C-alpha cells in the first residue's frame, strides 16, 4: 500500500504541506496517490538519524551487513506484482523491463552481500614493527578502509530500481557501512516508497540501527539542495543530467567541508565504424545499431548517440540502411511528458543547424508520449566546429558524422567531451592501422568496446561505468560493480594499536581469514 | 650551478621579467641567485609539452618507468653537497635534516620504481565471456588503472625535498604514467632547480619523452593559478596551508572540467592523555612531548598542537613538567621570516583570548628567525565554545586543554575539524573504558596512534597521510606510501577487445606475470 509519506528511518512522516503526484505516460494521466514533499524538519531528522546510526553501523560485521543486504533483496522480491505494476505505471516501461531491472537490482544487492561477507574488500595492509631499526624504530602500522558517513542517493529517472532507491549506489554505500538517505525521483515516488518499505522491513528483521535508511519525497530541487548542504552528509551519489549533476557538485564543493559527489551524467557514447567493417557488414551493423539506438526508447546513458565513419559509399549505404531499419521499429513510450518534451526540443534545436540533415524519422501516427526515433547526419568539418552538435539528445536519436579522412576522425574524437563509452567497429586487421583513433578514444572514455554495442552495462568486477567529465564528476571511480564501494570509504591507519583493540580485519590472528598485505606480501596467514 | 631559469622540459628558459631571490633565515640575508618567474608563454609551453609527452609516456612499461625513477634517485644523490648546502641555505634547516630528507626522497623514488616494475599496482580484473549465457551473452571485460594526464605539483615550504620537486607527489605521478609540472616553492627555488636538473638528466639518460617533467618558478600565486586552470592539466598535488589548498581546490572545482586536487593541509593533531597514563608516566610523557612539539622547530604537519586531558593534579603536574622541559630545548630557526612572522602573529592572536594562559615560553635572548617555543593551557568549556582556538599555530606551540570529564573530552573531539592524526596515551587497560573517545577520534582523523607521538610519518604501504577535511581535500586517498599512486589514475575497461591489442597487463598470457582477479579469483596464471 502506497501512503505518499516519507520514511524517516522506520517512521512514516508527512509533515510537509507540498503535495505532488506521479504520472502514467502510457495512459497519459496522473496516478492516484498523493506524495508529501519532505519538510526541512523531516530532512534534518533523517540526517540526524543517519548520523546516529553511523555511530554503530560503521562497525557492524560483514556478516551482519550481508544479512541486511540479502534481506533487502528478499523483501523486494516479496513485493511481487505490486512493485512491477507500480514501476510500469510510473515509467511507461514495459513489464519485461521492470522484471529485468528488479533482477539486476537484487543481483547487485546479493553481490555486495557476498563481497562484505567475504571481507577482503577492506584492503587490509599490515606493516609490522622493527624496534631495532636505526636511526629510529619502525612502528607497527595497519590500514583498512572505513566508511565516510551518511550518504545521500538521488534516484535516477531512467532506472526506477537499479539506479534508484535500492540500486547500485545504495547497495554499495550500505555495504561500505554508510547509512543512506534516498531523495526519491519525483517521477517514481511510489516505486521508491515500496522499495523503501522493503528496505525498512529488512532493517528491522536483521536488527539494523534506526536511521540506517530514510526515503524523502520531493517534486523540486529544494530537498536535494538541503541534503547536499547538510554538514552531517558526507558523500552524494547521483545519476542523471549534466545540469543536475553539476549543480550538486557545485553545491558540495562550496561547503565549508567539501564532500565527494559521484554524479554519473550524460554521454553520447561515440561509435567509430572503420571502413573495412562497413564494407563487410554494413547491413548487419545497420540492424544492430537500429536496435541499440532505440533500446529502452533510447533512454540509456550508454545510448549510441554519435556514429563516426569515413565518407564514402559504404558509409552512405550504412546510413541508408540504418534509416530504413530504425523507422521499422515500433516507437516506444518515454518516461514522462517532460522527458519527451525535452527530447523533441533538443532534436529540434540540433536540426535547427541546417548542416545537420534529418535522414529519417518515424512518421506514422503515434500516441501521446511516444518518441519518434530519428537518424541524422552531418559532415565532419561542421561537427568539428560546432560544439552544440556534440550535446546529447536524450532519446532514440543518433547522428552519423561523415569524416573526410582518418585524421579528421581522430581530430573529432580529441575534441569530444568525456564519455562513458567508446566503441570501435573494425573488420579483419584494420584496427591496427587506426592506433591514433583508439588512443584518442581511450583518453575520452571509461570503457572501450570492440565490435559490439555500448548499451548493456554488465554488472561485474571489471566493469567501469564512469569516465572523464562530464560522463562523471570523478573518473577515478566506477558506479557499477563491486569496486563502486570504494566511492564511500577512506583508508585509515592504526599505529602501534593494541591487538585486542584493533578491528577484526587487522588483528594478528586474522579471525576473518581475509587476504591482507603483510609486509608487502599478500597472505591470509596470521601475523 | 644554479641559473635561476625555469625548466620547460629539457629547455632552460627565462622569458619572464619578474625576478626574485630566496632567503637564508640562519644568516638572515638573501641568497645570491636571481630566479625568473615563469611567464604565461612558458606555462603554456610546459603544459603543451607535458600533454604531448603524455601521449607516449602513459604507455611506457613499468620497467622503463622504473629505470627513470631509479635514475632520478641516482642523480639526486650525485648532486652531493651542492644540494645539501643549497637546501640548508634556503630553509635554515640543519644538515642532518637535509640528509635525512634526501634519503627519504630517494627511498620514495625507489619504492615507486619497485612498485611499477612489479606491475601488480594496476589492479587488473578480467571477467571472461560467457557466450551461451541467457538471456544475453556475457561479454569479455577487463579492467586496469590508467593515468589521468599531466599533474601539477606544488612544492611544500617545510619539506624542500620529500614533499617538493621530486617528492612523494611527483614520484607517484611519474610512476602512474603522468607527466609532472612542478610549481617550485619560492622559498627554495634553488633546491628545486638542482633537483630538476637531476630529473632532466635522468629523463635524458633513460629516454623519456620531452616534456615529461618541467619546473616553473614563481614568487606569487599567478603561476599556480594559471596551471590549475589550464584545460590540459588533469590533477593537482599540494602540501601547505588550508588557505592555499582551499584556493586551489576552489579554482579546480570551478573549471569547465573540474579536476581532482589532492591538498594535504593543516592539522593540530590532537593527543589524548588518559588519567592512568598521566599518573604513571607524567614525567616521561612531558619529556617526549617537549621533543615532539619542537621537532623541526614545530614545522611538521603532524606536529602535536593540541593536548587533551582530564583536569586534576596529574594533568597539572604534566603541564608543569612539559613547560619546564620545553624551555630547556634550544630554540630553532624557522624556514623564512614570513613563517616566523606568521608564527608570532598566530600565537599572539590565540593569546589575545584571556582564557588561554601562556604557561611558559622560551625567554632567553634569541637571534633573528628563531622561534620561541611555547606551552599554553585553557579550560575545556572555553575551548569547546571558541573555534578560533581550534586553529593551527604553525610552529613549536602547543595547547593543553583541561577537560572537566570524559564527556567533555569526547564532546571536544567531536567538535574538532578533520585531522591528519589522533593519538591516544593510555596506561594499563584504561583505553577500553574510553571507547567513545576512541570512536570520536577515529571519525576525525586519518591515522590513530597508541602511546606514541604523531611526528614521524613512516613511508610504508600501511601509512595513511591524509584525513577528513581540512586535513586534506580528499580523505579517500593517502599522500604517503605506494597507495598514493591511486590519486593519479582512473579505472578503464576493455570490452571484447582483441588479445593482441590489449595492454600487456590484461593479455591472456599474462606476460608481466602480475596478480590479477580472473573471474573474481586472484591469480597470476594465464587466462
Residue B11 φ/ψ, nearest 5 degrees: -90, 135
Contact assessment for residue A8 and residue A214, using Cβ atoms and an 8 Å cutoff: yes
Q: Do B476 and A491 touch (CB under 8 A)?
A: yes
Residues A33-85 have pLDDT tens digits of: 999 999 999 999 999 999 999 999 999 999 999 999 999 999 999 999 999 99
Q: Determine the Cα–Cα distance for residues B88 and B24; give it in Å rounded to an integer.
A: 8
User: Chain A neighbours among B 36-95 (CB < 8 Å)?
Assistant: 55
pLDDT of residue A441: 96
User: Chain B neighbours among A 276-305 (CB < 8 Å)?
Assistant: none
Q: Does the structure show a pLDDT above 90 at B279?
A: yes
CA distance, residue B277 to nearest chain A CA (Å): 15
Considering only CB atoms, A139 lies closest to which of B143, B458, B491, namely: B458
The x, y and z cell numbers of residue A65, run together, are 551487513
User: Chain B neighbours among A 113-142 (CB < 8 Å)?
Assistant: 125-127, 136, 138-139, 141-142
Considering only CB atoms, A257 lies closest to which of B439, B456, B469, namely: B469
Average pLDDT over residues A238-244: 95
CA distance, residue B525 to nearest chain A CA (Å): 16
Tell me the catalytic residues of A: 264, 301
DSSP for B189-222, please give it: HHHHHHHHHHHHHHHHHTTPPTTSEEEE--SSSH
Q: Determine the Cα–Cα distance for residues A447 and A463; give it in Å rounded to an integer.
A: 8
As for the ipTM of the complex, it is: 0.96
Q: Do B469 and A515 touch (CB under 8 A)?
A: no
Residues B37-65 have pLDDT tens digits of: 999 999 999 999 999 999 999 999 999 99
Q: Which residues pair with B273 in a beta bridge?
A: B309, B425
* A492 has a chain B CB within 8 A of its CB: yes
Q: Do B141 and A460 touch (CB under 8 A)?
A: yes
Per the annotation, the verdict on B333 as an active-site residue is no
Q: Does the structure show a pLDDT above 90 at B298?
A: yes
Contact assessment for residue A396 and residue A305, using Cβ atoms and an 8 Å cutoff: no
Residues B74-119 have pLDDT tens digits of: 999 999 999 999 999 999 999 999 999 999 999 999 999 999 999 9
Q: What phi-psi label fits residue B360: left (phi over 0), alpha (psi between -120 and 50 degrees) or beta? A: beta
Q: Determine the Cα–Cα distance for residues A109 and A72; give it in Å rounded to an integer.
A: 8
**Burial of A231 from C-beta contacts in 10 A (0-12 / 13-18 / 19+):** exposed
Q: Do B125 and A447 touch (CB under 8 A)?
A: no
- Do strands B489-495 and B141-147 pair parallel, antiparallel, or not at all (unpaired)? antiparallel
Q: Which residues of A touch B462 (CB under 8 A)?
A: 125-127, 141-143, 493
Q: Determine the Cα–Cα distance for residues A259 and A252; give it in Å rounded to an integer.
A: 6
Considering only CB atoms, B446 lies closest to which of A447, A473, A493, namely: A493
Q: Which residues pair with B399 in a beta bridge?
A: B306, B376
Q: Which residues of A touch B136 (CB under 8 A)?
A: 456
Task: Select B6-265+477-487's CATH number: 3.40.605.10, 1.20.1250.20, 1.10.287.4070, 3.40.1550.20.
Answer: 3.40.605.10
Q: Do B446 and A490 touch (CB under 8 A)?
A: yes
**Longest CA span, chain B:** 84
Sequence-distant (6+) residues with CB within 8 A of A40 are: A226
Interface test with A, best of B491, B502, B521 (most A CBs within 10 A): B491
Q: Do B497 and A447 touch (CB under 8 A)?
A: no
User: Chain A neighbours among B 391-430 (CB < 8 Å)?
Assistant: 417-418
Q: Which residues pair with A23 in a beta bridge?
A: A30
Q: Determine the Cα–Cα distance for residues B168 and B101; give it in Å rounded to an integer.
A: 12
**Burial of A17 from C-beta contacts in 10 A (0-12 / 13-18 / 19+):** exposed
Q: Do B476 and A486 touch (CB under 8 A)?
A: yes
Three-class DSSP category at A233? coil
Three-class DSSP category at B492? strand
Count of A–B CB contacts within 8 Å? 186
pLDDT of residue A490: 98
Residues B341-393 have pLDDT tens digits of: 999 999 999 999 999 999 999 999 999 999 999 999 999 999 999 999 999 99
Contact assessment for residue B469 and residue B443, using Cβ atoms and an 8 Å cutoff: no
Interface test with B, best of A96, A260, A414, A476 (most B CBs within 10 A): A476
Q: Do B260 and A476 touch (CB under 8 A)?
A: yes
Three-class DSSP category at B19? strand
- What kind of fold does domain A270-450 have according to CATH? Aldehyde Dehydrogenase; Chain A, domain 2 (3.40.309)
Average pLDDT over residues A164-173: 98
**Longest CA span, chain A:** 84
Burial A33-45 (b: 16+ CB within 10 A, else e): bebbbbbeebbeb
Q: Determine the Cα–Cα distance for residues B380 and B374; give it in Å rounded to an integer.
A: 19
Q: Determine the Cα–Cα distance for residues A369 and A335; give it in Å rounded to an integer.
A: 8
Q: Which residues of A touch B172 (CB under 8 A)?
A: none
pLDDT of residue A135: 87
The x, y and z cell numbers of residue A429, run together, are 586487421
The CATH superfamily holding the domain B271-450 is Aldehyde Dehydrogenase; Chain A, domain 2 (3.40.309.10)
Average pLDDT over residues B478-504: 97
CA distance, residue A14 to nearest chain B CA (Å): 32
Domain boundaries, chain B: 6-265+477-487, 271-450
Burial A472-502 (b: 16+ CB within 10 A, else e): bbbbbbbbbbbbbbbbbbbbbbbbebeeebb
Residue B215 φ/ψ, nearest 5 degrees: -135, 120
Q: Determine the Cα–Cα distance for residues A482 and A461; give it in Å rounded to an integer.
A: 6
Q: Do B439 and A136 touch (CB under 8 A)?
A: no
User: Chain B neighbours among A 134-193 (CB < 8 Å)?
Assistant: 136, 138-139, 141-143, 146, 148-149
Q: What is the CATH number of domain A18-265+477-487?
A: 3.40.605.10
Q: What phi-psi label fits residue A28: left (phi over 0), alpha (psi between -120 and 50 degrees) or beta? A: left
Cell 525521483 locates to A185
Amino acid at each position: 500500500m502506497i501512503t505518499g509519506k516519507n520514511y524517516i528511518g522506520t517512521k512514516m512522516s508527512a509533515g510537509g504541506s507540498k503535495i505532488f503526484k506521479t504520472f502514467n505516460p502510457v495512459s497519459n494521466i496522473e496516478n492516484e496517490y498523493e506524495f508529501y514533499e519532505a519538510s526541512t524538519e523531516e530532512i534534518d531528522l533523517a540526517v540526524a538519524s543517519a548520523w546516529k546510526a553511523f555511530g554503530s553501523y560503521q562497525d557492524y560485521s560483514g556478516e551482519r551487513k550481508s544479512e541486511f543486504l540479502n534481506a533487502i533483496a528478499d523483501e523486494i522480491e516479496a513485493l511481487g506484482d505490486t512493485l512491477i505494476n507500480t514501476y510500469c505505471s510510473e515509467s511507461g516501461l514495459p513489464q519485461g523491463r521492470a522484471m529485468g531491472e528488479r533482477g539486476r537490482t537484487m543481483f547487485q544487492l546479493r553481490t555486495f552481500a557476498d563481497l562484505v561477507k567475504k571481507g577482503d574488500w577492506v584492503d587490509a595492509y599490515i606493516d609490522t614493527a622493527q624496534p631495532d631499526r636505526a636511526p629510529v624504530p619502525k612502528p607497527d602500522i595497519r590500514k583498512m578502509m572505513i566508511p565516510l558517513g551518511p550518504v545521500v542517493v538521488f534516484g535516477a529517472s531512467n532506472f526506477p530500481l537499479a539506479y534508484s532507491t535500492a540500486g547500485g549506489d545504495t547497495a554499495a554505500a550500505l555495504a561500505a557501512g554508510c547509512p543512506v538517505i534516498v531523495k526519491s525521483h519525483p517521477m517514481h515516488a511510489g516505486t521508491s516508497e515500496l522499495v523503501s518499505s522493503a528496505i525498512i522491513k529488512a532493517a528491522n528483521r536483521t536488527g539494523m540501527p534506526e536511521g540506517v535508511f530514510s526515503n524523502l519525497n520531493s517534486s523540486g530541487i529544494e530537498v536535494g539542495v538541503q541534503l547536499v548542504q547538510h554538514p552531517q552528509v558526507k558523500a552524494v551519489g547521483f545519476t542523471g543530467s549534466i545540469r543536475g549533476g553539476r549543480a550538486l557538485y557545485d553545491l558540495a564543493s562550496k561547503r565549508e567541508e567539501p564532500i565527494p559527489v559521484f554524479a554519473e551524467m550524460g554521454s553520447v557514447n561515440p561509435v567509430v565504424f572503420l571502413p573495412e567493417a562497413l564494407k563487410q557488414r554494413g547491413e548487419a551493423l545497420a540492424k544492430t545499431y537500429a536496435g541499440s539506438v532505440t533500446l529502452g526508447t533510447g533512454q540509456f546513458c550508454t545510448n549510441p548517440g554519435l556514429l563516426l565513419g569515413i565518407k564514402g559509399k559504404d558509409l552512405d549505404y550504412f546510413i541508408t540502411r540504418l534509416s530504413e531499419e530504425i523507422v521499422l521499429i515500433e516507437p516506444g513510450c518515454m518516461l514522462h511528458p517532460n522527458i519527451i518534451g525535452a527530447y523533441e526540443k533538443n532534436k529540434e534545436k540540433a536540426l535547427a543547424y541546417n548542416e545537420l540533415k534529418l535522414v529519417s524519422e518515424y512518421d506514422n501516427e503515434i500516441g501521446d508520449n511516444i518518441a519518434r526515433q530519428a537518424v541524422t547526419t552531418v559532415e565532419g568539418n561542421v561537427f568539428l566546429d560546432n560544439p552544440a552538435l556534440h550535446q546529447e539528445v536524450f532519446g532514440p536519436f543518433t547522428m552519423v558524422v561523415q569524416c573526410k579522412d582518418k585524421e579528421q576522425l581522430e581530430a573529432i574524437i580529441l575534441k569530444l567531451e568525456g564519455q562513458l563509452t567508446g566503441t570501435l567497429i573494425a573488420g579483419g586487421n584494420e584496427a591496427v592501422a587506426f592506433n591514433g583513433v583508439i588512443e584518442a578514444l581511450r583518453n575520452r572514455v571509461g570503457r572501450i568496446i570492440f565490435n559490439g554495442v555500448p548499451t548493456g552495462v554488465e554488472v561485474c568486477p571489471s566493469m567501469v561505468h564512469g569516465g572523464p567529465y562530464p560522463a562523471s564528476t570523478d573518473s577515478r571511480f566506477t558506479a557499477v560493480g563491486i569496486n563502486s564501494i570504494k566511492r564511500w570509504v577512506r583508508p585509515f591507519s592504526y599505529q602501534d594499536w593494541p591487538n585486542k583493540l584493533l578491528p577484526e580485519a587487522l588483528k594478528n590472528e586474522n579471525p576473518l581469514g581475509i587476504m591482507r598485505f603483510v609486509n608487502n606480501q599478500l597472505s591470509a596467514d596470521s601475523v
